[in-house]
A and B are shown apart, each in its own frame.
Chain A
Amino acid sequence: MKLLTHNMLTSHVKGVTKGYPLIIKATEVKVNELEFNAQFVSRMIPKLEWNALIQAAEWLGRSQDLPSTLIPNYENDEEFLHKVHRILLEVEVIEGCLQCPESGREFPISKGVPNMLLIEDE
């Protein structure tokens, strides 16, 4: 599970009003290299919940001096874009779980795939 994907995931447990962001508890993390494309990264940034990304990076121990708020003119800052590329697209959670911040319900991540399926009465 990449952090770009994590940034979009929410918990839909019954009764939960804000199941976001899901707390990452990782037991195995991998870095999988992916070709850098400045345009793609720049375009993804405005779609992100930036705070959730910063938190996710912290949970993985990889804050790497990412700013807590977006710098203006980030589209032209190659170094910044490279940092974002790395955390968003190259770091992958292979094993662990995602925890709903409100209900505490845990969604397992196994072989890199988060399982968001809920049982009947959830």
Chain B
Amino acid sequence: MKLKELESCLQQVDGFEEPKIQLEQYPTSPHIAGCMLYTIHNTFDDIQNKLVADLGCGCGVLSVGAAVLDAGLCVGFDIDEDALDIFKGNVEDFELSNIDTVQCDVCSIGSSYAKKFDTVIMNPPFGTKHNQGIDMQFLRTAISMASTAVYSLHKTSTRDHIQKKANDWKVKMEVIAELRYDLPASYKFHKKKSVDIQVDFIRFTPT
């Protein structure tokens, strides 16, 4: 499947109906999700026939993409029931059977799933809404769950901080790409029409 086809496919994924600001619910655009998944699949072969986890899956754009790219099974984890309802709708629309979901608090998972998954993919909350540090909690959990690799998006401004943590946790960190996350005004308090946030698409692997 070509990147354009994948993006076009992901455009059919329904997003949040009433995004919850305190959970930092922003949809991952079909373009960014497409780029991420395309690279994970074609460059690293970490999706097809693999057991994949999507942490903070929201409405499931990354999970749907992973399933479409023939993941053995992709399991989405999210705290919000409303988002998971939309996720289920998407799974039905796309007629995918290689997807499952769990409603839970990713920050409380601990090491329950230690090394159970081949690959973890995620677009975690960045920690901008009274939840500072949540991105690192997500990352820590992801690293404990994955036996091969974790793929994640983080603000470029936090790159050095993440590198320090990666060293502490003894994981190798590779910035695969720098992306501009274009967030269209989705909440009432947004004054600008859209805002570009620079994010790093990072791959973490055990050393």
* Co-complex (A, B): yes
Contacts from A to B (Cβ < 8 Å): 1-2, 4-5, 8-10, 12, 32-34, 37, 39-40, 43-44, 47, 89-90, 92, 111-118
Q: Is the CB of A47 within 8 A of B101?
A: no
Q: Is the CB of A5 within 8 A of B49?
A: no
Interface centre among A10, A112, A114, A116 (most CB of B within 10 A): A116
Q: How far is the CA of A16 from the CA of B72 in the complex (A)?
A: 32
Q: How far is the CA of A40 from the CA of B117 in the complex (A)?
A: 12
Q: How far is the CA of A41 from the CA of B149 in the complex (A)?
A: 20
Q: Is the CB of A117 within 8 A of B105?
A: yes
The closest CB in chain B to the CB of A5 belongs to B100
Q: Is the CB of A5 within 8 A of B75?
A: yes
Residue from the list A12, A89, A116 in contact with B103, Cβ < 8 A: A116
Residue from the list A1, A32, A92, A116 in contact with B104, Cβ < 8 A: A116
Q: How far is the CA of A44 from the CA of B50 in the complex (A)?
A: 9
Cβ of B187 under 8 Å from chain A: no
The closest CB in chain A to the CB of B85 belongs to A111
A-B contact pairs, 6 of them (CB 8 A): A5-B75, A8-B113, A34-B97, A40-B51, A89-B98, A113-B88
Q: How far is the CA of A47 from the CA of B112 in the complex (A)?
A: 13
| Given the contacts A5-B75, A39-B49, A113 and B84 also touching, CB distance less than 8 Å | yes
The closest CB in chain A to the CB of B113 belongs to A8
A117 contact set on B, CB distance < 8 A = 79, 103-105
| Given the contacts A10-B112, A116-B104, A44 and B88 also touching, CB distance less than 8 Å | no
Cβ of B73 under 8 Å from chain A: yes
Chain B positions 65-112 with a Cβ under 8 Å from a chain A Cβ:
72-73, 75, 79, 81, 84-85, 88, 97-98, 100-105, 108, 110, 112
| Given the contacts A12-B110, A34-B98, A39-B49, A4 and B73 also touching, CB distance less than 8 Å | yes
Closest Cβ of chain B: how far from A89's Cβ, in Å?
Answer: 6
The 8 closest A-B pairs by CB, nearest first: A40-B72, A116-B104, A34-B97, A115-B103, A5-B100, A40-B49, A32-B97, A2-B100
B51 contact set on A, CB distance < 8 A = 4, 40, 44, 47
B101 contact set on A, CB distance < 8 A = 112-113
Cβ of B164 under 8 Å from chain A: no
Closest Cβ of chain B: how far from A14's Cβ, in Å?
Answer: 12
Residue from the list A2, A114, A115, A118 in contact with B73, Cβ < 8 A: A2
Closest Cβ of chain B: how far from A37's Cβ, in Å?
Answer: 6
Q: How far is the CA of A10 from the CA of B111 in the complex (A)?
A: 11
A33 contact set on B, CB distance < 8 A = 97
Interface centre among A113, A115, A118 (most CB of B within 10 A): A113
Closest Cβ of chain B: how far from A32's Cβ, in Å?
Answer: 5
The closest CB in chain A to the CB of B71 belongs to A40
Q: How far is the CA of A9 from the CA of B77 in the complex (A)?
A: 12
Extra contacts, 16 of them, besides A90-B97, A112-B101 (Cβ < 8 A), are A1-B100, A2-B73, A4-B100, A5-B75, A5-B100, A5-B102, A9-B112, A10-B112, A32-B97, A34-B98, A40-B72, A89-B73, A89-B98, A92-B100, A113-B101, A116-B103
